[in-house]
Amino acid sequence: MKGCTHIFVISPRTRDVNNYWTDICKVAELSDKYGLTGILLFTGNDTYLEPWAVAQEVLRRTTSISPLVAVNPIYMHPFTVAKMTASLVRLYRRKIYLNMVTGTALSHQGAMGDQLSHDERYDRLGEYIEIVKGLLGSTRPLNFGGYYYQTHQLQLFPGISPEIAPEFLISGQSEAARRVCLATGSIGMQMLPARLEDGLLNLPAVHFGVVSRESAEAAWEAANALFPENKDYRAMLEYSMANTDSAWKLRMKADSEHVGAAGDGYWLVPFATFQADCPYLVGAHEYVAETLHRLVQRGVTTLVLDIPASEEEFVHLRSVLEKSKIISPN
Measured distance CA(208)–CA(210) in Å, rounded: 7
The pLDDT of residue 263 is 54
Tell me the per-residue pLDDT of 123-182, one tens digit each, with 9 for 90 and over.
999 999 999 999 999 889 999 999 999 999 999 988 888 888 999 999 877 899 999 999
Is 241 within the bounds of a domain?
yes
**Is 328 part of any domain?**
no
Whether 220 maps to a domain, the answer reads yes
pLDDT at 28: 97
3-state secondary structure of 227: coil
| CATH at residue 43 | 3.20.20.30
Domain that holds residue 205: 6-323
| Residue ranges, the chain, pLDDT below 50 | 1, 261
Total domains in the fold of the chain? 1
pLDDT of residue 66: 98
Please check whether residue 330 lies inside any domain of the structure: no
Q: Is residue 329 part of a domain?
A: no
DSSP secondary structure, 13-78, as one string = ----HHHHHHHHHHHHHHHHHTT--EEEE--STT-SS-HHHHHHHHHHH-SS-EEEEEE-TTTS-H
Q: What is the pLDDT of residue 199?
A: 80
Position 110 scores a pLDDT of: 82
pTM of the model: 0.92
145 within domain boundaries: yes
Answer yes or no: is 1 within a domain.
Answer: no
In the prediction, which pLDDT does 1 show? 39
* Residue 158 preceded by cis peptide, ω within 30: yes
10 and 305 Cβ atoms separated by less than 8 Å: yes
Tens of pLDDT, residues 26-36? 999 999 999 99
Kindly report, residue by residue over 284-293, the tens digit of the pLDDT: 999 999 999 9
- Residue 136: inside a domain: yes
